[in-house]
Amino acid sequence: MAKKTENQAKNRHVCSLCGGTDFIEDSKRGERVCTSCGCVASDHEMDTGPEWRAFTAEERNARARTGAPATLMIADKGLATTISWGNRDANGRSIKGSRRAAIYRMRKWQIRSMAHGSKHRNLSIAMNELERLGSQLGVPRDCKETAALIYRKALDKRLVRGRSIEGMIAASLYLSCRIHRIPRQLDEMTTETRIKRKELAHSVRQILRYVNVKVPLPSPNDLMPRISGDLNMTGRAVQRATSIIEEARAEGLTAGKDPGGLAAASLYIAGILENDRRTQREIAKASNVTEVTVRNRYKELVNSLNITMEP
């Protein structure tokens, strides 16, 4: 802990999720991305406050000149200004001569600068969908922002071609949840969209393969709060379960196993050890696996870690 604080003092940019200190900077886009977990670093957020000082309300009002903060979740990042088609100025007077020609040129360039018209359209639809799906699943803002970034990158790599926007958004959001360690499983994405599980899983793999994001493997510990919450288990039991998972990881027992099953089994064991027992059925139901899987994992864990099942 002391070390971490020291680290933070030395280097202002520490990933708030994984504690990593290496970032890829993409100054063109104004992004700083953590190399170990792929999240958009939160301590590099744009400072949306004013750069001037004001001591009275009048001063503040006189100097304020900014709008809403920039965000990745709006197709043009919320920074649009449009030049209207009417040849009249703000007061309704008509504009004449060279001034009029200048405005004509400005309009032309503004439209040309939106040359990626289809991309822009795609993004508007996609960001709408992200907003909808995100709130449906109760995902925090940060996480939606990261999903938006992943989607933009996927779009740049032309991964969206031939796939549905909805599917790619769901995939981006799923990966973003994994980065932010928010337990949302593939199945939850499919219940809120019209996407089939298989298609979604494929999109997820495509993104992992072609887009430069590091996504941590789903860990049983991420699921723990959720499952134990459903079962109203005590903090001690949950802690015990977490440490069992850590031991299992150290022994290499977790590779290739369904994290749900592992979380379930460790909670079952911890429940018995800490006198907060739940039946296999209850645990299985809460963690979306079968009793059989709970049993198998539980047997494995007990045998390999030499746990004696005495309360």
Partner DNA sequence: AAGACGAAAGTGGTTGA
Partner DNA sequence: TCAACAACTTTCGTCTT
Q: How far is the CB of 264 from DNA (least distance, A)?
A: 9
**Rule CB under 7 A: is residue 234 a binding residue for DNA?**
no
Phi and psi torsions of 26, nearest 5°? -125, 85
Residues 113 to 132 in contact with DNA, rule: CB under 7 A: none
**Rule CB under 7 A: is residue 275 a binding residue for DNA?**
no
Residues 42 to 101 in contact with DNA, rule: CB under 7 A: none
**Rule CB under 7 A: is residue 293 a binding residue for DNA?**
yes
User: Which residue bears the tokens 């290499």?
Assistant: 252
**Rule CB under 7 A: is residue 178 a binding residue for DNA?**
no
With CB under 7 A as the contact rule, which of the stretches 2-10, 63-71, 216-224, 281-289 interacts with DNA?
Answer: 281-289
Answer for which of 256, 308, 310, 311 binds DNA (CB under 7 A) is: 256
Structure tokens at 43: 């301590």
For residue 90, CA distances in Å to 51, 66, 84 come to: 28, 19, 11
With CB under 7 A as the contact rule, which of the stretches 11-19, 102-110, 219-227, 285-293 interacts with DNA?
Answer: 285-293
Compute the radius of gyration of the chain from its Cα atoms: 26
Return all residues near 284 (Cβ < 8 A) that are at least 6 apart: 264, 290, 291, 293, 294
H or E element in which residue 167 lies: helix 165-179
Structure tokens at 2: 């002391």
Answer for which of 208, 281, 303, 304 binds DNA (CB under 7 A) is: 281
- Return the number of the residue (122 or 193) whose C-beta is nearest DNA: 193
Helices 141-156 & 197-210 angle (0-180, nearest 10): 70
Question: Where along the sequence are the contacts to DNA (CB under 7 A)?
Answer: 197-198, 201, 205, 256-258, 261, 277, 279-281, 288-293, 295-299
